Amino acid sequence: MSFIADALLRVKPSATIMVTQKARDLRNAGRDVISLSVGEPDFDTPDNIKQAAIKAIERGDTKYTPVAGIVPLREAIVQKFKRENHLDYKPSQTIVATGGKHILFNAFLATVNPGDEVIIPAPFWVSYPDMVAIAGGTPVIVETRIEQGFKLQPEALERAITPKTKWLLLNSPSNPSGAAYSRAEMKALTDVLLRHPQIYVLSDDIYEHLIYGDFTFVTPAEVEPELIDRTLTMNGVSKSYAMTGWRIGYAAGPEKLIKAMDMLQGQQTSGACSIAQWAAVEALTGPQDFIAERRKIFEERRDLVVSMVNQAKYLRCATPEGAFYVFPSCAEAIGKRTPDGTLIETDEDFVSAFLETEGVAVVQGSAFGQGPNFRISYATATPILEEACTRLQRFCASLV
């Protein structure tokens, strides 16, 4: 009899965490390593948000909170969805959790039965399929194409739907591709979903504020109001507010689903950190002007990285609409050799050789369900990005 649960046999270690740790290990060993593997803004949490946390401590707001979140935060979430997404919710239709990942996990654990299918467009965030598998469901992966901006097409969605389909999981802007759906593109998908009333939509909007140029962010229930009763709209403070370590995610959706997630969370973690919740209240209700300032910097970094990657031999990089990632294709590098004779057979070989040769950590596209590609996070200082991309150009030029 195995001591470890069979459910864990369906789970793979997080590739992004593994690559980031390998970069740390090499750096600790004295190597000059640049890590472009982690999805974390390099900016600091704004001071007003920090001060809100300090004041919460000084007030003594350090006790257990309601499982679904403190009332002021749930009210702030309602206001945020109304103000920015034109969605009408009641506080009872919202929930706060220990990060966005916790929201996703609870949604699947609360709804997915063995045999239920969850459609996930590829490339996808590494944790999505494993969350579905742990819940006993079946991830149905639908590949996208670089020529279509790594976006799910309505025809492909229609083909993937079966009587067992319970959820469609959408992430816009996307990790790892940065792809975001325009209103017309989203409407084409929601039109398909209207024909299949058994399917719920889980919209992961964590990168909502990181969109560039004149692109306008939209979310499914906003584009198609008829879907609001079968959509869970998820967000958080990690990316837009540089609060990754505060661990606050939130969502709004049908009350029966929120109640189920509340019951499940009550047996897991109970409420999220009280201090972090008060900080999140300030994040959602306080000044928002710094978001545009930081977004401009991210956009400049995106343009720099796309330009420099496209100047590298064998690489092709699309210009994404949002997030802080690019997802270049290294298909033309497959079959090449490094100067020491190492054969590049996969995208994992490519990123491994790049790290060993030039000391730059990126993540193989196969970890995100689609290769041969790799993900670069440009959430780091511009001079570091320039150096990393120079090393990438040098590495690619050395392949024969």
Write out the DSSP string of 178-205.
-----HHHHHHHHHHHHT-TT-EEEEE-
d(C-alpha 353, C-alpha 360), whole Å: 10
CA angle 34, 35, 37 (to 5 degrees): 155
Question: What DSSP letter does each residue of 323-347 carry, written as one string?
Answer: TTEE--B-GGGTT-B-TT--B--SH
Structure tokens at 274: 């009280």
Cβ atoms 94, 68 nearer than 8 A: yes
d(C-alpha 22, C-alpha 18), whole Å: 6
Domains of the chain: 6-44+290-398 (3.90.1150.10), 62-285 (3.40.640.10)
Per-residue pLDDT, 106: 97
d(C-alpha 358, C-alpha 325), whole Å: 20
Per-residue pLDDT, 56: 98
Sign of CA dihedral 208, 209, 210, 216: positive
Residue-level pLDDT, tens digit, the chain, 400 residues: 788 888 888 777 777 777 778 888 888 888 889 999 888 999 999 999 999 999 999 999 999 999 999 999 999 999 999 999 999 999 999 999 999 999 999 999 999 999 999 999 999 999 999 999 999 999 999 999 999 999 999 999 999 999 999 999 999 999 999 999 999 999 999 999 999 999 999 999 999 999 999 999 999 999 999 999 999 999 999 999 999 999 999 999 999 999 999 999 999 999 999 999 999 999 999 999 999 999 999 999 999 999 999 999 999 999 999 999 999 999 999 999 999 999 999 999 999 999 999 999 999 999 999 999 999 999 999 999 999 999 999 999 999 9
| Residue 351 DSSP label | H
User: How much is the pTM?
Assistant: 0.95
Per-residue pLDDT, 6: 84
Per-residue pLDDT, 67: 98
Structure tokens at 216: 């306008």
